[in-house]
Structure 1
Amino acid sequence: MAEKSTDDAALKARVIAHMNKDHKKSLSHYLQHYSKLPPAIADTAELTNISLSRITLSTRSSSTGTETTYLPIRPSPMQNLSESRERLVYMANECLTGLGLSPYVIKTYAPPGIVGVVVMVSVLVGTWAFAAKGNLAEGSFVRVYLLQNYHPLADLLMKTHLIGLVSIVAIHLAECIHLQRTRLRKHQVETFSKVWWLWMMSGSLEGFGVFTRFDKEVEEVIKAKTH
């Protein structure tokens, strides 16, 4: 009996260490889904104990300090700790579904090709051109080299430059919001990380192309996991 107790204690210690080292995101998802904690607090989660019927998690926040949360083992209590992996994976997948997240995590950024770069430069030039009337005035770079001194069009753009500027900003801001809601969050790209900023900057300038590129990255991750 003493040997079995020692084995259980060793297994428990391994499970706790493994979860805290390699599956911090799953611990956060447990608290976000089951306890409805905000990500900022849930991301501080540490597994402190596991029994046959529940796991114990601690969290920290500046307002409440350290708090303890007890979550029941799902879908049912374990008969022994050797079942812990099966149960914890089940709970992780249940949380992903409940939170609207994908198990296929994107950790890299794919740069645009030549077409994408051309689009990004065009958007930058267009934004700059509409930013001030002077950028479309007589003798300006835009009027002379881009519009080939086609004055009727240049004059119209000068009169409507604010509408053009607001339209460009609004369209690309909407694309960024859509990228975040439908792709970055779903595939667990950490907000404000380097990879997140790269995707968002591309989204703010490139538009449709960034969605296609991101979807290809997801396809590659799926292929890697299924082969």
Structure 2
Amino acid sequence: MAENPIDDAALKTRVITHMNKDHKKSLSHYLQHYSKLPPAIADTAELVDISLSRITLSTRSSPTGAAATTYLPIRPSSMQNLSESRERLVYMANECLAGLGLSPYVVKTYAPPGIVGVAVIVGVLAGLWSFSAKRNLAEGSFARVYLLQNYHPLADFLMRTHLIGFVAIVVIHLAECVHLQRTRLRKHQVETFSKIWWLWMMTGFFEGHGAFKRFDKEVEEVIKARKTH
């Protein structure tokens, strides 16, 4: 029996509205994976049409704002009717996540450090401050008296090499931030330069391993929540 054209049009409208409202990231992933578009352009994606064999996406490029249209075939095969659209679009979304190296478990929260983490952050800050200038390690300085317990041979050595120490601390902790971004933040779709991203990156810089462990716990909570729904 043939489908009612009116019902078919209403379903198409619902699918398009739903995808544009609730699944903008999936639209972006379609374009990043299938069409190899950069995220800056793919993130402007809007679903403008869907048929049994393809979806039509519109994007805008910066800074001109010129519009472009991309046609993507429905995967893994064409539909018999639009009621199959959810199954196909979910399949494509999962295929894109795998192809882009992304996880379906999205972290949208930030977990602050505990007492141990705060102690580590204070220690790193103290180290950066101590190595930032020779006078911070000179005779009678806070670092020499309280941190180094007036152990002059070590204090004198650190004072001579304070710039090397400062650069080493910065480089090591920046490397930890890069690792955090590559192995966790990007994978679990924490939006770059968002508030949550900055909080995790700043904590990752000053705390290091503790931030990695807390992020992994947040992922576990997301997985648990997904399984209970």
Structure 2, unaligned runs of 5 or more? none
- The answer to whether residue 127 in structure 2 is matched with residue 126 in structure 1 is yes
How big is the shift at 1:215?
0.4
Match of 1:77, SS? coil
- Structure 2 counterpart of 1:113: 114
- Structure 2 counterpart of 1:190: 191
Residue type at the aligned position of 2:110: Y
Q: Deviations over 1:139-164 (max 9, x none)?
A: 11111121121111110110111111
Structure 1, unaligned runs of 5 or more? none
Residue type at the aligned position of 1:209: G
Separation of aligned partners in 2, 1:147 and 1:179: 31
- Structure 2 counterpart of 1:6: 6
Separation of aligned partners in 1, 2:65 and 2:117: 47
Q: Report 1:68-87 matches (<5 A).
A: 68-87=69-88
Identity %: 82
Could you tell me the TM-score, scaled by structure 1's length? 0.98
More divergent stretch after superposition (12-21 vs 149-158): 149-158
- Structure 1 counterpart of 2:16: 16
Q: Report 1:150-161 matches (<5 A).
A: 150-161=151-162
- The answer to whether residue 31 in structure 2 is matched with residue 31 in structure 1 is yes
Separation of aligned partners in 2, 1:157 and 1:92: 54
Residue type at the aligned position of 1:105: V
Q: Deviations over 1:152-184 (max 9, x none)?
A: 111011011111111100110000000000000
Separation of aligned partners in 2, 1:70 and 1:197: 35
Q: Deviations over 1:90-142 (max 9, x none)?
A: 00000000000000000000000100000001000100100110110111111
Separation of aligned partners in 2, 1:204 and 1:77: 48
Q: Deviations over 1:172-218 (max 9, x none)?
A: 00000000000000000000000000000001000111111100000
Could you tell me the TM-score, scaled by structure 2's length? 0.97
Residue type at the aligned position of 2:29: H
Separation of aligned partners in 2, 1:101 and 1:34: 15
Residue type at the aligned position of 2:96: C
